[in-house]
Amino acid sequence: NQASEPTVQSPVPEYSCQRSTPLKHHNSRFCEAMELLQDYAEMREGDDNYMRALAWRRASCVLKSLKFPLTNIDQLKGAKDVGKHVEKVLQSILDHGTSDEVEKVRNDPWYKKMKIFTKVFGAGTKTAQEWIEKGWTTVDEVRQNYTKGDWRLRFGLAFHEELMELVTRLEADNFTKFIKHQCETILPGISVELCGGFKRGKTHGHDIDLLFTHQSTGKEVGFLPRLLSVLESKNLILCGKWNRGTYTEEAMYSDSKRTKNNQLDHFEKWIGIIKFPKKWRKSISEEEFFSDENVSADLNSYEDSEPAKKKLKTNELSPEDIAAQSRSWIARRVDLIIAPYDQYFYALVGWTGSKQFNRDIRTYAKRTHNYAMTSHGLYDLTKRKSLPAKSEKEIFDILGVPYFPPEERNC
């Protein structure tokens, strides 16, 4: 009885940023398949593959926003981004529960290795490809043979298993609470926001993204190095890199090379690995939580001993040595980002994501208004002026996009 089957609302808004996309939806088996094909295309080089990857993702996003489970391909009539190739894969899953094309990729030895290697902190597709070309098939093999000095990769490899365990919401909340507490003494008035997947309602994530700002623009200058030295003094930093901010409006909008070096944005930030006291994995009482003695006492371990410190200084103590010690902490990936208040709400949208949401809202801004949108702001390329915003809602209003809360930006 096809007549009673729901169909997409017609017309489907073209961009995913114009649709509500919840975390839990009705079509995960289809989306998982299409995102696997996206993943595969993304790993392969060339513009064609890049476009292919985007096409799979856009199709997946249409299905994620459906209010019903797909049971018949005709239900997608009128939906954008669902071409013949997509239909073929969906039809196959409807008929047989699987798609040959998807299963072929899933079992492709190259894809399997790429999948493993690109999960290592610091390893992109290029590095993963190099490791495959060397004939390495497991992270262990890479570990035994990789000798280059890139700090991300060295720690990423040494702590791989731990970093692969997803961070829980509770850990993220505990860490945020701890950082907020430190901020009170370092710079009162600084605001700390847990962004990324957690902000969109995910219960697990691969890292913790914290965005900082201060309502009086300028006060945030110099804050991050101070926070880092506090974390350092509590021995909470395993490794990391601080990057000074490199934003200038001119550089961003006056030429076409806006995303130089493939950088996500130009904010001052720290990217690294924090040592999480194991008790941060559980609910802890305020009192226990904020007692400083507690944090450092918990972290006293082999590497704090004088001989170990010496070894570390002379580079004798490798990330592998540290990983192998019995420890009272676990390694967790953390990003700390500083946004001046006049760019803050754009930064908030950008760091909330999802990645696809950002892509779409930026494409929408460019195509519909000739605005350049980044995590730093919105720039009217025709009138050559920037469009400031005092809330997330205002950004959506300027663009003429219905406001969706972070939980509905899971495209």
Cβ burial, residue 209 (10 Å; 0-12/13-18/19+): buried
Is 207 annotated to bind a ligand? Reply is yes
The interface mask with ligand DCP, positions 239-278, x = CB under 6 A, is -------------------------x--------------
- Are 70 and 62 in contact by the 8 Å Cβ rule? The answer is no
E strands, 89-218, in order: 167-168, 190-194, 204-205, 208-214
Q: What is the CA radius of gyration of the chain?
A: 23
What count of other Cβ atoms lies within 10 Å of the Cβ of residue 71? 11
HSE-CB for 374 with a 13 A CA cutoff: 23
Q: Contact between 196 and ligand DCP (CB under 6 A)?
A: yes
According to DSSP, residue 271 is labeled E
Judged by CB under 6 A, the residue of 25, 105, 152, 205 near ligand DCP is 205
CB closer to ligand DCP out of 44 and 234:
44
CB closer to ligand DCP out of 252 and 299:
252
Q: Contact between 408 and Mg ion (CB under 5 A)?
A: no
Judged by CB under 5 A, the residue of 156, 196, 340, 350 near Mg ion is 196
Closest CB 173 distance from Mg ion, rounded Å: 14
Q: Which does 351 bind (CB under 5 to 8 A by kind): Mg ion, ligand DCP, none?
A: ligand DCP
Judged by CB under 5 A, the residue of 209, 220, 298, 360 near Mg ion is 209
Q: Contact between 353 and ligand DCP (CB under 6 A)?
A: yes
Between CA 198 and CA 211 the distance in angstroms is 12
Closest CB 362 distance from ligand DCP, rounded Å: 9
Closest CB 236 distance from Mg ion, rounded Å: 19
Q: Contact between 156 and ligand DCP (CB under 6 A)?
A: no
Q: Contact between 353 and Mg ion (CB under 5 A)?
A: no
Q: Contact between 16 and ligand DCP (CB under 6 A)?
A: no
Is 209 annotated to bind a ligand? Reply is yes
| Among the residue ranges 13-21, 41-49, 294-302, 349-357, the one whose residues contact ligand DCP (CB under 6 A) | 349-357
Contacts 24+ apart (CB under 8 A), 377-386: 377/249, 377/252, 377/343, 377/346, 378/346, 379/249, 379/252, 379/253, 381/253, 386/249, 386/253
Cβ burial, residue 255 (10 Å; 0-12/13-18/19+): exposed
Q: Which amino acid is at 34?
A: M
Q: Contact between 392 and ligand DCP (CB under 6 A)?
A: no
Write down the residue that tokens 């969706």 correspond to: 404
CB closer to Mg ion out of 196 and 406:
196
Cβ neighbours of residue 250 under 8 Å, at least 6 residues apart?
none
Give the strand pairing for 329-338 and 208-214.
Answer: parallel
Judged by CB under 6 A, the residue of 52, 152, 202, 362 near ligand DCP is 202
Q: Which does 353 bind (CB under 5 to 8 A by kind): Mg ion, ligand DCP, none?
A: ligand DCP
Residue stretches of the annotated binding site for Mg(2+): 207, 209, 335
Binding positions for Mg ion, rule: CB under 5 A: 196-197, 205, 207, 209
